[in-house]
Amino acid sequence: MKTISLKLPDDLLADLESEAKARRLTKSVLVRESLEAALRQRPRRNDATCFDLSRDLAGSVRGLPPDLAHNPKHMDGFGE
C-alpha cells in the first residue's frame, strides 16, 4: 500500500479526528473508507445517462412545460 499526504483545513481535520475516535478507527482507515465510498457512488463517465450529463440544464428554458413527454399533445409530429 502506498502512502500519500494531504492538507486539510483545521475544521475538517477536527471532524476526521472526532469521527475516527468515535468509531475506534485510525484516521487512515476512515479516509480510505470515505474515499472508496465517494468514488464508488459517483457515476462513471461511460455509465452516465444523457440526463446525468445535462442535469444542470434541466428546467433552464423559460416558457416551456416542465416535462414535454408528460402531455401527449407536446409529442404531436415527433418522429415524422
Residues 7-39: tens digit of each pLDDT: 999 999 999 999 999 999 999 999 999 999 988
pLDDT at 14: 97
Residue 49 pLDDT level (bands cut at 50, 70, 90): confident
Please say whether the beta carbons of 59 and 51 come within 8 A: no
Taking alpha carbons only, the member of 29, 20, 30 closest to residue 1 is 29
pTM: 0.52
Q: Say how many CA atoms lie within 13 Å of 20 toward its Cβ.
A: 16
Query: For the chain, what are the domain ranges?
Result: 10-56
Average pLDDT (30-56) is 82
